[in-house]
Amino acid sequence: MINGYEIMVDQLIKRRHELGMSQEQLSFEIGCAKSLIHKWEQYKRVPSGFMLGCWVEALGLQIKVTEKCEESSQQN
């Protein structure tokens, strides 16, 4: 089952690809190791809240918090 975090990471990966940005370029923008970006994108590590914000910002995105739909919370 895909959870909200995995959906978000998939969107971040898609955006990085749309921008034609490599993991190395993204790591430079954020100020972390390229291997860390790889681990985040493979769900092997979870970024801290601060680093998640940096990741999102570097891709020109923003985080929007919304209430779960009743239908999706019944499926979990």
> CATH fold of 4-75, please?
434 Repressor (Amino-terminal Domain) (1.10.260)
Q: Tens digits of per-residue pLDDT, 14-49? A: 999 999 999 999 999 999 999 999 999 999 999 999
76 pLDDT tier (thresholds 50, 70, 90): very low
| Residues 34 and 24 sit within 8 Å (Cβ to Cβ) | yes
Q: Tens digits of per-residue pLDDT, 58-75? A: 999 999 888 877 655 455
Rounded distance, CA 50 to CA 8, Å?
A: 16
So what's the pLDDT on residue 4? 84
- In sign, the C-alpha dihedral spanning 8, 14, 15, 21 is positive
